[in-house]
Chains A and B, each alone.
Chain A
Amino acid sequence: MTDVNAALRRTRIGDRETAQGETERAVRRGAWPVAETPAGRTTGWWGMLLFICTEAAMFACFIASYYYLRFSTDGSWPPVSDKLPHRIVPGIGTGVLVLSCLPMFAAVRTSRKSRAVTFPLLVLVTLAGTTFVVLQAVDYMQEYPSSTPSKDAYGSLLFTLTGLHAFHVGIGVLMMLLVLGGQLARGFKKPQAGATRVMAMYWYFLAVLAVAIYITVYLTPYIM
């Protein structure tokens, strides 16, 4: 904090020479590091937003490819018609991931005030993410004998699309552990609200994606 204070001492807010009008001066007052509320979005926030954009574009193309191949296939889908995908286990996984958005949301809301509450909430979210990955693995064991990634395009799509998503959830869990580790190591002193907020964006994205993929991979074969 010393450098900030030193800087503050030397700052001349409202310097006649630098006057640029009321607005700018007011903003500048509010924008100095010790301000009450942060002004504007952080670069980290934008970074996560763009990252989500590029990921969303890729999954959108992947889901579109699923339907493209599905509708350019004559005959039944899945090709082995009586082997429809198992919807219960991945359904539970998707449900858990979607519900984990609630503690995530609560964590963001509390992160600026009480980090003692934030921590257990984030632990809960991490556990939910882990559960999702485990349930996805369980589903693979169910699917495996009747469809494999190299048997036909259906199998390739099923395993790769869900696998890529589960991989992202796994990354999310690791990032969450890093945030948790940071909170532990810094003794809840150094602010983590920014990291929590950015993490939450990613988590909501994973949850929305999980629903889209669940509907595409596990439900549409039943109705189309």
Chain B
Amino acid sequence: MTQLTPPRTGTDADIETLSTVADSLEASTRYDVLPERGAAEATVGAALDAEWEEEPGLWGFITTVNHKRIGRRYLVTAGFFFMLAGINALVMRTQLAGPNNSIISPEIYDQLFTMHGTMMIFFFATPFNSGFGNFFLPLMIGTRDMAFPRLNALSYWIFLFSGIFMFTGEAMRVAPDAGWFAYVPLSNEYSPQLNLDFYSLGLLFLAVSSTVGAMNLVITFLKMRAPGMSLNRVPPFVWGIVTQSFMLVFALPPLDLANLMLFLDRRLGMRFFDTAKGGDAVLWQHLFWLFGHPDVYIIVLPAMGIVSSIIPTFSRRSILAYPYVVLATVATGIISFGVWVHHMFAVGLSDVSLTFFSAATLTISVPAGIQMFAWLGTMWRGRVVLSPAMLYAMSFIITFVIGGVTGVMFAVVPFDQQVTDSYFVVAHFHYVLFGGAVMPMLGGLFYWWPKLTGRMTSHKGGVISAVLIFVGFQVTFFPMHIQGLLGMPRRIYTYPAGYGWGTYNLIETIGAYVLAFGFLWTLFVFAQSLLSGPVAPDDPWGGNTLEWATGSPPKAYNFPVIPTVHSLNPLWDGRTLQSMVDHRHDDQRTMTEVHRTLRTSELDGRIERVMSMPGETVQPLLVAAFLTMTVCFLLADIMLAAAVAVGLMGLVIAWWMWNRPEIDEPAP
């Protein structure tokens, strides 16, 4: 276990240096409780504890609106879906271990790879990021909860129920089986069973959760930052989450529309995609990829934000070229809406559009390069500490750069047409998504585990986990590049012998089992930490951002005193923590009565007013439950019951809106 302590002193003149560098690495003092937080808790902790105390037991469990509990639930639930989707992949790899295997039937194989993609993209990667966002965004910006706590609970419940809905389909063996991008007409008139109804309904269902969750995060970021946290002091992780959320707000609508059209076509006989009746199959592809490409960055940007959190802490200096990192993040989000056609280079579109999207694809690589060199520069100008989280961040850089360079290759149109839909592209997007998202997420888990659970993880266990997963990943996915170049198409449930594909497939399957063992090991490390890990101090790594100024795990109100933020690295500047002591008698900063927090201005983080927050309520669960009923009745084609469920949901929403503290009114 590496324990690091940041500097605790500093005059105004030192702020500039201190806020960029935590160089007192060998300092021997470390605090179980930061003295500043201790002082603040001693003053107002008791009053806040009484006010923010949550109801225990089951009722407390289902009515909570606390962003930390919801964030942890997101992580656990998405992690569970990750495991299920991973098992799907493991079964597929077993089937593909040798040529002409028949361990599973082609129908099941098709459901497995469709569910693997769909669940990993929609029900693991995005919600797992939301989990980190939910837990850490309010902590990092120094507030007490999300802007809309009840909406936050709602988005979790919907996520949970929609995930269960999708896996019910798989358990009933009618899971979606047209691939995660479900091209029509295969997903339309050529799939008469329920399979694709699970897909269209399940994704529409989940989209409600993702959309409200994303809005919530954006507004929390805009209106709830601690005083003094102007936009140039917002941690890169928060920028990643916010950019992702903005993207979700604009990227989900085309997907929702496509799924709505698909559902109407399948169930009500509409003709949006029926080429015989004036519809068009390519329309689906445009709508899908208009969502689908931004979605890559929706997954990767917050994960990159995690890396931008880990690297400064374990390089003992502030991130290099912070403004460029932020601009690169935002630019990636914007450009990503203009590259979708590179998924359709083989569709037979005009050369003009191919050229345009080839250029756009190259453009979007530039911001990634900026971030890459900002991380490398941070490491080289700092002192690297090889903690498990840092090892994961470095695995990420190595893996992501390989995925990045193959991504650039896809900009060359004829080469894209040659290797798209082959195993080469499977290798590429696993390097981007596993390397770009799963590795940072695991790094984030190791980094933030003390904050999430209040326990430390084993250092050695974490290092072994990072090594196992890195090796397992490379062995599984690197040979796929070669296999693709050797002409093996993707999504085939078996392949003939004698083409030289078998060896690579066998290596990959072995790699997949190593990877699975790596995950089991990681799970074991976390379980062991929960059961018998040492109790975590407030700030075990000497981190630079505000979440380390709270308890491990944080109290329900996060900050007894809302601090004033003085720099990009508030825990290193020496003054931000001091502001918690200074303001401990200031009722505007402590807000001990009712659930309250500060609302600040969007750009400069100036205080606007104190706003009250809702407490525990069962409304979100009720809305989610009625929505689930609606979706199930739609699936079962019982329209009347679906209408009744919608009506009931409307009533609960009316009840909810009736008493809405979050829309704070201007005073008379």
Contacts and interface: CB of A to CB of B under 8 A. Distances in A.
Interface stretch (A14-22, A92-100, A124-132, A211-219): A14-22
Contacts of A192: 665
Contact of A160 (B148, B254, B270): B270
Given A50-B219, A153-B272, A62 B257 contact: yes
A141 to B, nearest CB: 19
Interface in A87-109: none
A99 B253 CA distance: 28
B249 A54 contact: yes
A152 B271 contact: yes
Contact of B283 (A3, A46, A68): A68
* Chain B, interface residues (CB within 8 Å), range: 35 or more
B369 interface: no
Given A58-B253, A68-B286, A73 B278 contact: yes
A46 B219 contact: yes
B357 to A, nearest CB: 17
A63 to B, nearest CB: 10
Nearest to B601: A40
Interface string A1-44: 00100110011100101101001100110011111011111111
A178 B657 contact: yes
Contacts of A42: 223, 599, 663-664
Nearest to B270: A156
Interface stretch (B156-164, B475-483, B490-498, B580-588): B580-588
Contacts of B256: 58
A73 B274 CA distance: 12
* Chain A, interface residues (CB within 8 Å), range: 35 or more
Interface stretch (B194-202, B400-408, B533-541, B608-616): B608-616
Nearest to A26: B606
A203 interface: no
B249 A53 contact: yes
Interface string A114-125: 000000000000
B268 interface: yes
A153 B274 contact: yes
B662 interface: yes
A151 B271 contact: yes
A82 to B, nearest CB: 17
B181 to A, nearest CB: 17
A35 B222 CA distance: 22
Which residue of A10, A31, A175, A192 has the most chain B CB atoms within 10 A of its CB atom?
Answer: A31
A181 B215 CA distance: 27
A193 interface: yes
A195 interface: yes
Contacts of A20: 227-228, 564
Contact of A3 (B222, B278, B593, B601): B593
Interface in A157-200: 157, 160, 174-175, 178, 181-182, 190-195, 198
Contact of B608 (A12, A40, A193): A40
Contact of B215 (A51, A153, A175): A51
Given A38-B609, A79-B278, A152-B278, A47 B215 contact: yes
B658 A178 contact: yes
Interface string B623-667: 000000000000000000000000000100010011010111111
B36 interface: no
A100 B667 CA distance: 27
Nearest to B600: A40
Contacts of B606: 23-24, 27
Interface string B268-292: 1111101001111001001100100
B211 interface: yes
Contacts of B277: 151-153
A47 B148 contact: yes
Given A58-B257, A192-B665, A27 B607 contact: yes
B269 A150 contact: yes
A24 B227 contact: yes
A73 B271 CA distance: 13
A221 interface: no
Which residue of B219, B290, B658 has the most chain A CB atoms within 10 A of its CB atom?
Answer: B219
A191 B667 contact: yes
B264 A160 contact: yes
Given A7-B587, A178-B658, A50 B609 contact: no
A140 interface: no
B39 to A, nearest CB: 13
A38 B667 contact: yes
Interface in B97-135: none
Interface string B232-263: 00000000000000000110111011001100
Which residue of B252, B587, B610, B665 has the most chain A CB atoms within 10 A of its CB atom?
Answer: B665
A72 B256 CA distance: 22
Contact of B667 (A12, A33, A46, A156): A33
B272 A43 contact: no
Contacts of B600: 40
A73 B283 CA distance: 12
B666 A194 contact: yes
B594 interface: yes
A25 to B, nearest CB: 10
A24 B664 CA distance: 22
B311 interface: no
Interface in B453-470: none
B609 A35 contact: yes
B609 A43 contact: no
A40 B602 contact: yes
Nearest to A153: B278
A116 B270 CA distance: 48
A37 B606 CA distance: 16
Contacts of A83: none
Given A39-B609, A58-B257, A65 B663 contact: no
B47 to A, nearest CB: 11
B666 A191 contact: yes
B668 interface: yes
Contact of B270 (A68, A149, A193): A149
Given A40-B223, A57-B249, A61-B287, 13 more contacts: A18-B586, A31-B609, A37-B666, A47-B148, A50-B219, A57-B250, A153-B271, A153-B274, A156-B271, A157-B272, A182-B658, A192-B665, A198-B663
22 contacts: A11-B586, A24-B227, A32-B609, A33-B609, A34-B667, A37-B666, A38-B608, A40-B609, A44-B662, A44-B663, A46-B218, A47-B147, A47-B219, A54-B253, A58-B257, A62-B257, A149-B264, A151-B277, A153-B278, A153-B280, A156-B271, A156-B272
A-B pairs, top 9 by smallest CB distance, nearest first, are A44-B663, A58-B253, A153-B278, A38-B666, A150-B269, A57-B253, A156-B270, A40-B608, A39-B608
